[in-house]
Amino acid sequence: MTLHVETAACFSIALIAAPILIVLIRLLFILPALRLPTSIKKKRKLIEECQISFLLGSGGHTGEMMRIVSKLDMEKVSRTWIYSSGDSSSLAKAQEYEKKSGTTSHYISIPRARTVGQSYISSIPTTLYSFLFSAIVLLKHRPAVILLNGPGTCVPVAYILFFYKLLGLCNTKIIYIESLARVNKLSLSGLLVLPISDRFIVQWESLYQQYNRVEYYGILI
């Protein structure tokens, strides 16, 4: 009787431990923060020939993103612009850029999690809807590269893509460029995205000296 109980207990433990072990092994392969550091003395290209998505945020984030994009070689890059619903200013800037480039691109609108002045209680269902909508859209879209630069909306987007990478559903490279306004410490969005980003670029040497895994090539905008 005791032997059967011990066998059942061992079997139950194995059933619980096996998936946990599989997840941990998978994390070792895909979590950038767990990889061995590599030298970044030689400047690497920010993007290669691929399908890349840009996440636009309200205010100065979109302005910085557009200045970064204007300095990139986008000739052989298929572009998708992701923006929050109602953010007509960001959409207009992306459309203006594409009009000048004369190429075809795609636009994806994500529902806002919370609007200005909305109460926290009423924002719970809208936040859930925004998260689920984003998850569905990103599963269909699955960009080769996504470029982020700090708006709060980038955090759920980054973690949704990382979760899909964990499941083997995509292999999106997450590139985060910290805002120029961040001189002495990273933004909250930056701190949250740093562990899962494939590349994390700062624009001030003071940040490069403080944080592991970050890259610094001077001011980019």
Task: Note the maximum CA span of the chain.
Answer: 79
DSSP H helices in the chain: 2-30, 60-70, 88-101, 120-141, 154-166, 188-193, 205-210
Residue 146: left (phi > 0), alpha (psi -120 to 50), or beta?
beta
Can you tell me whether residue 146 is helix, strand or coil? Answer: strand
186 CA to centre of own chain: 15
pLDDT, position 162:
95
List 173's β-bridge partners, or say none.
145
CB-count burial class (<10 Å; 0-12, 13-18, 19+) for 159: middle
Q: Tokens for 39?
A: 């030298």
Q: Which of 39-48, 67-76, 164-173 has the lowest mean pLDDT?
A: 39-48
Note the pLDDT tens digit of each residue in 8-40.
555 556 556 556 655 556 666 566 765 544 444
pLDDT, position 50:
78
Note the pLDDT tens digit of each residue in 172-191.
999 999 999 999 999 999 99
Q: Tokens for 148?
A: 């982020």
pLDDT, position 36:
47
Note the pLDDT tens digit of each residue in 56-107.
987 789 999 999 998 888 877 889 999 998 889 999 999 999 988 877 799 9
- pLDDT averaged over every residue in the chain: 82
pLDDT, position 34:
59
Can you tell me whether residue 107 is helix, strand or coil? Answer: strand
Distance CA 113, CA 98 (A): 27
pTM given for the model: 0.80
For the cut 60, the answer to whether the pLDDT of residue 220 exceeds it is yes
